[in-house]
Structure 1
Amino acid sequence: MARTKQTPAKATGGIAPHVSKSLRGSRKTIVNLEVTQTLASWVAKVEVLPHLWRESSHSQHAQAHPGLLTNEFCMLCQDGVREGEGCLYECDEHDCPRTICTQCISIPDGYAKYLQEPDVKFRCVHCHTVLSKKSNKVTPYYGFYKDAQPIFQSFLPIVGELAISKRSQISSKPVLILHFKVVGFENTASPVDAVYSYLRPYFPNGGLRLAEVVFDLSTSCKTDKYSQLCEELMNDIMQDRDYQIVCLVITNHTNDENGDPFLGYAVGNSYVTDTIPEFMSALLDPWSKVIRGAATATLFFLGCGAIVNKVEGFSGLRLAVVDHAILSTIAFTAKHFHPAFTSFPAIIEQSGLGMHTDIILMTTTSQDGGSTTSLECIRYSWAHSTSRPWGQILPLQCLQCGCPTNWKRLKANFSGKYMIFECSFADCGRAKDKSEASKLPQRYICKAPKNTTLLPGKRRNASWMEIVLDFSQSPTSMLESDVKMD
């Protein structure tokens, strides 16, 4: 039987003192003080947003593949169907999750019930195209087959149009978003909420969940209570469904001097910090089953750039990523990072995010049958021909004459990947009296970092650069700017 389903239509930074793990456990005076307080004011707080989607009344008609989640939306129009107006046909080819709605294919009259027979199989347009390429023979599209023979005497008319690429699909894999916020950041605006609202319509039958976890790990007492509450929440999440995609978001401060993340409040409203490996272990260990059980786990660190700009911070982050089996990690280099710049308008515009911060992408790959893990680090930097030549930032003010200036480009060598700029002020470097010697106008040489590839962009004068980070070189020069005065 050609399997059908129904999906509702959607159309119409700072500085804080460092506290080691052992020291946190030995703070008896603080622990005693905490016991006299109400737990609600001291221990880690866990908040879970309510489910905004309940099971659709149409879900009883869906027949799921054993072990395979089929798409909730048509591969052509990327929409569902309204009740009583048709259904979605699920592709029967091996490991294909695609569906096509009855609004996009014209089924001859009188065949609807016949197509529900057990031995009738459906093949989507994508699989038909793939099989045609393998056989090196173009054939008409019939869609429905019985005993490997077409059901219809003529081809099946495709009346829908592609909304996106024929190979594209809206994944129906369950997605879990865990947003960790350091205490004091509970009410801070975040792009996570926008992402959740954006994805919500694509999960009409459930499968998208957002959990906010407000943490304070500054003492052993708080850490133990945090672990206890997280374990309860994790058990509830695991009983809900098998979340194959886990997105971890950490909103936190980092120490400007070494990149250590903030743990929470020590006494009063004073923050304390710890090394990244210790912080990540305390924060993520209670969630180990969820993270390691997912097909993919991605981490976004929404914090200031010291965590990747400082050698000890970046080294600790790389170790933590591998230890916690996180497939992909994204961090930002801006000294004073603003999460609002990662919102959808800024990302789509590209330059809004790129002018504010570079992006660090860390990707883990299992090797030797999973016995070892390699880590690749790539830096993405926004380049503009005048404001950010080769990703380097020209100063707003000339250091020689003091003029806020538009820098004049003297030379651009694209094979050598460098540009030379000069101050546009006519009197820059000119002596004010005869007793002084005149100087040449201030110049800057902007060079591309090593291992740089300029990525294709929509604008002729701007695009992103991909920089592969090589840790065999001096770590202190890994993320430094390459702008030199001449």
Structure 2
Amino acid sequence: MGLNTRGGIPHLLNAALEEYYTEATLRYLEVIFDFGTQRKLHHWQAKAQRLASTIGEDTFQQKIFFISVHSEVTRGDLFAGKDEGGDDVAVLPKEFMDYLFAGCLRPLVSRATLFMLSCGPLVTFPQSICSFKEALLELRPAYTITFGATCFIGTVIKSFIVAFGSWVVIQGHDLGEVFTDLLNVSVELPMHTDAYLFQFEEQMASDMPNLSSSAVHIKGMRYSWYHTHHHPWGCPLPMSCPKCGSIRSWSPSKQGKDSSGAPGCISTCQSPACGFQMFSYQPRSYQVIKVKVGEGMGWIKQAGI
């Protein structure tokens, strides 16, 4: 589902799965949405009803939604389409998801896997991410994957998507259990973007008088690539030194303190007569997941997103 559906990651996943399924067991649907005006919204709501009927006629063990949409760079709103004057219309993620999954399409998202192919502002602004999690809490997809790059390039997750199709869709592994493994096979992804995994969780509420009652919440996790030379504590260093302009001149990071005494990792420009230093600070509440012991690189997992 997107503002346009030409090529891209959904096509790649479908191509990877076609050899393992028949036409009766694999359905691929593309839909273009635009609800930037009331008239367009009414048209989309009718279209969503027809789409829900098409999907509802078949019983599938897994449903995977890809949403390709732009995000507003100053606050993370999502673009809903064009208004009467041809200008872009952006709304809060909760409002966007309410419009997108209209009517009978809404319950089909429950227990599905949702990929948000949008730029990082969606998950980097507090108001935006809170609105997005509010939408997920109502829609209840089992897992939702988003990415944090300011200018996200979808092609960097090609290896991730192919591995997802093999390990999760075909072999049946739980996405939460193999998520780091999927990231590790993604050669281009680590240096380009953080990855976010949102998981819908439902727990029995023992303090409620009705034993059938349950408490639900969205568990958000952020995965940032770290490397002692290029991404200390998951913070990317600039390609060139801000002082002398030397390219890729950073030393391996070392523990130290900045001018205020705050602890962090120090990266020093090794260009002669420069010595410019940059500081990267330790994140809160994190877990280090190493790719290989002793190689100085891996993933920093932060919970509570």
**Displacement, 1:299?**
1.1
Cα gap change, 1:205 to 1:216, in 2 (>3 Å): closer
Which residue, out of 65, 79, 83, partners 1:262? 79
Partner Cα distance (1:212, 1:365) in 2: 29
Counterpart contact for 2:232–2:253, Cα < 8 Å: no
What amino acid sits opposite 1:330 in the alignment?
I
Counterpart for residue 327 of structure 1: 142
The two structures have a TM-score, normalised by structure 1, of 0.52
CA distance in 1, matches of 2:280, 2:244: 20
| Residue 316 of structure 1 pairs with residue 162 of structure 2 | no
SS at 2:197 equivalent = strand
Instruction: State whether residues 351 and 382 of structure 1, in contact with CA within 8 Å, keep that contact through their aligned partners in structure 2.
Output: no
How far does residue 268 in structure 1 lie from its aligned partner after superposition? Answer: 5.5
Q: 1:277 aligns with which of 86, 90, 94?
A: 94
Which has the larger Rg? 1
Provide the C-alpha distance between the structure 1 equivalents of 2:249 and 2:72, rounded to a whole number of angstroms. Answer: 34
Aligned equivalent of 2:200: 364
- Describe the superposition over 1:360-381 as per-residue Cα deviations: whole angstroms up to 9, x where unpaired: 1111111224543122110011
1:468 has 2:303 as partner = yes
Task: For residue 269 of structure 1, report the CA deviation from its aligned partner.
Answer: 4.2
- The one-letter amino acid paired with 2:198 is M
Cα distance between partner residues in 1 of 2:50 and 2:189:
37
1:142-187 alpha-carbon deviations (Å, 9 max, x no partner):
xxxxxxxxxxxxxxxxxxxxxxxxxxxxxxxxxxxxxx111xx232
Amino acid across the alignment from 1:350: S
1:422 matches 2:268: yes
248-257 vs 461-470, greater mean Cα deviation: 461-470
Aligned residues: 270
Letter in 2 for 1:463: G
Identity over aligned pairs, percent: 25
Q: Hey, what's the Cα distance between the residues in 1 that align with 2:113 and 2:18?
A: 19
Q: Which digits, 9 at most, give the CA deviation of each residue in 1:334-384, with x for residues without a partner?
A: 001111111127956434101110011111111224543122110011112
Aligned counterpart in structure 1 of residue 276 of structure 2, from 394, 418, 442: 442
Measure, in 1, the Cα distance between the counterparts of 2:288 and 2:155.
26
Residue 442 to residue 220, structure 1, CA distance change in 2 (3 Å): same
The within-5 A match list for 1:141-152 is: none
Residue 181 (structure 1) aligned with residue 2 (structure 2)? yes
Q: Distance in 2 between matches of 1:370 and 1:351?
A: 44
Q: Which residue identity lines up with residue 242 of structure 1 in the other structure? A: T
Mapped to 2, the partners of 1:232 and 1:410 lie a distance apart of 56
Look up the SS of the partner of 2:200 in the other structure: strand
The offset of 1:267, in angstroms, is: 3.4
Amino acid paired to 1:457: V
Offset of residue 396 of structure 1: 2.2
Q: Mind listing any 5+ residue stretches in structure 1 that lack a counterpart?
A: 1-179, 429-440, 471-486
Deviates more, 1:299-308 or 1:397-406: 397-406
Do the aligned residues in 2 keep the contact of 1:408 with 1:421 (CA within 8 Å)? yes
Q: 2:44 aligns with which of 191, 206, 226?
A: 226
Alpha-carbon separation, structure 1, partners of 2:255 and 2:243: 23
The answer (yes or no) to whether the contact 1:276–1:317 under 8 Å persists in 2 is yes
Cα distance in 2, alignment partners of residues 390 and 358 from structure 1: 12
Question: Is the Cα contact below 8 Å between 1:405 and 1:424 reproduced in 2?
Answer: no
Residue 343 of structure 1: SS of its match in structure 2? helix
User: C-alpha distance in 2, partners of 1:354/1:255?
Assistant: 24
Correspondence 1:300 to 2:115: yes
Q: Using the alignment, how far apart are the partners of 1:410 and 1:463 within structure 2?
A: 15
Contact 1:405 1:425 in 2 (8 A): no
Higher fraction of helix: 2
Q: Could you tell me how far apart the structure 2 residues matched to 1:384 and 1:370 are?
A: 45
AA in 2 matched with 1:466: K
- Name the structure 1 match of 2:176: none
Supply the AA of the counterpart residue of 2:137: V
Question: Where does 1:328-407 land on structure 2 (aligned, <5 Å)?
Answer: 328-344=143-159, 349-367=185-203, 368=205, 369-407=212-250
Question: Post-superposition shift, 1:412?
Answer: 4.6
CA-CA distance at 1:397 after TM superposition: 2.5
